Amino acid sequence: MADKGAGKTLTANSVKDFTLQYAIYFVFVVLILMIAIREPSFLSLNNFRNILSMSATRIIFAMGMGAILITGGVDLSAGRMVGLAAVLSASLLQTADYSRRMYPDLPILPLIVPILIAMAACGLFGFLNGIFISKLQVPAFIATLGTMVAIYGATSLYFDRPPYGAQPIGGLDRRFTALGTGYIGFDGVYSIPYIVIIAAVITVITYILFNKTTYGKNIYAIGGNAEAARVSGVNVGWTLVIVYTIAGILYGLGGSLEAARTGGATNNYGNGYELDAIAACVVGGVSNLGGVGTVPGIVIGVLIFSVINYGLTFINMSPYWQQIVKGAIIIAAVALDIRKYLKKR
């Protein structure tokens, strides 16, 4: 009889552990089903394609933010780096005949050059974040808050240039906008947008970095216990510099693609994106305490918020209720995260 009871308890605990571990995936499925019950036409290839397109740049941002959160840090400057990248890339990729071209005498550049410039600029700010945090011992919250303000100021100065002043940057090169809105395959639903392919490539690379390299082992070790990682031979300082630099590069790529997707840019692009990325990572299972997180979880976290934004708008739910739903999901995700942490102790 004791064995029977032990078996039942083991089974109950196993089910509970499984549910706790994969709760976010259940939430994702339930969310889709609830919207589909209200509006069956939501379950169409076209809608899923639109959701993936909306999610693509957010996934790129979240991959950079996810690595930072796993180390136990945070990056409040991410959104402003997105804005910097959008403004830089868009200003260098305007058509030659556009009347308000920022650089009238600039020759038409290869598409990759302005994107690389934007990625390099954001990577530099990411590098500075890493230096401030790891070498000067400035808390990540304060260091990235400072760079957030500075980057916004620098972007605004660049954006508010004579003779046109602070006007939205438009007239973008078709090669650039095609990168954000173009696709491979048949016209319509049977096609894959370029930005989805780029996001998928970044996701695969990030997965390999997290799970198959020393770099990945180090970021998890630092997030678990930075002092223990240091004692075991991990160069904590330079690993953090690399993490923040790579995150900056990803923000630069994502910001450029966001400008291409929307067909323009202003200095306010990216405002609040850092909070969206943090929320998506936390909802996707990245521990706010550091040391825990997976790439598939991050992707699911981003998709959940995209489904909320797109799906709840699709069924005509008030934006105010959408915010309430988002907040409830974030709180529930953090509560589950803490439960999992306490269970492991």
Cβ density class 232-249: b for 16+ within 10 Å, e for less? eebebeebbbbbbbbbbb
| CATH number for the domain whose boundaries are 50-185+192-344 | 1.10.3470
Q: What is the pTM of this model?
A: 0.89
Q: What pLDDT, on a 0 to 100 scale, did the predictor assign at position 42?
A: 87
In angstroms, the CA 109 to CA 176 distance is 11
User: Checking DSSP bridges between strand 183-185 and strand 191-193, what pairing results, if any?
Assistant: antiparallel
What the block records as the tokens of 263 is 């067909």
In angstroms, the CA 315 to CA 38 distance is 7
Contact between 119 and 259 (Cβ < 8 Å)? no
**Cβ burial, residue 332 (10 Å; 0-12/13-18/19+):** middle
HSE-up of residue 2 (Cα within 13 Å, Cβ side)? 0
Rounded (10°) CA dihedral 215, 216, 221, 226: 50
Phi-psi region of 249 (alpha: psi -120 to 50; beta: other; left: phi over 0): alpha
For residue 126, give the 3-state DSSP assignment: helix
Q: What pLDDT, on a 0 to 100 scale, did the predictor assign at position 317?
A: 84
β-partners of residue 193 are 183
In angstroms, the CA 219 to CA 214 distance is 9
What secondary structure does DSSP assign to 258-287, as a single string?
HHHHHT-B-TTTTTTHHHHHHHHHHHTT--
Eight-class DSSP state of 163: T
Q: What pLDDT tens digit does each residue of the chain (345 aa) get?
A: 445 555 555 576 676 666 666 677 777 788 888 888 888 888 888 888 889 999 999 999 999 999 999 999 999 999 999 999 999 999 999 999 888 888 888 999 999 999 999 999 999 999 999 999 999 999 999 999 999 999 999 999 999 877 777 788 999 999 999 999 999 877 666 789 999 999 999 999 999 999 999 999 999 999 999 999 999 999 999 999 999 999 999 999 999 999 999 999 999 999 989 988 998 998 888 887 888 899 999 999 999 889 888 888 888 888 888 888 888 877 877 777 666 655 554
SS (H, E, C) 15-59: HHHHHHHCHHHHHHHHHHHHHHHHCHHHCCHHHHHHHHHHHHHHH
Eight-class DSSP state of 94: B
What the block records as the tokens of 236 is 């904590």
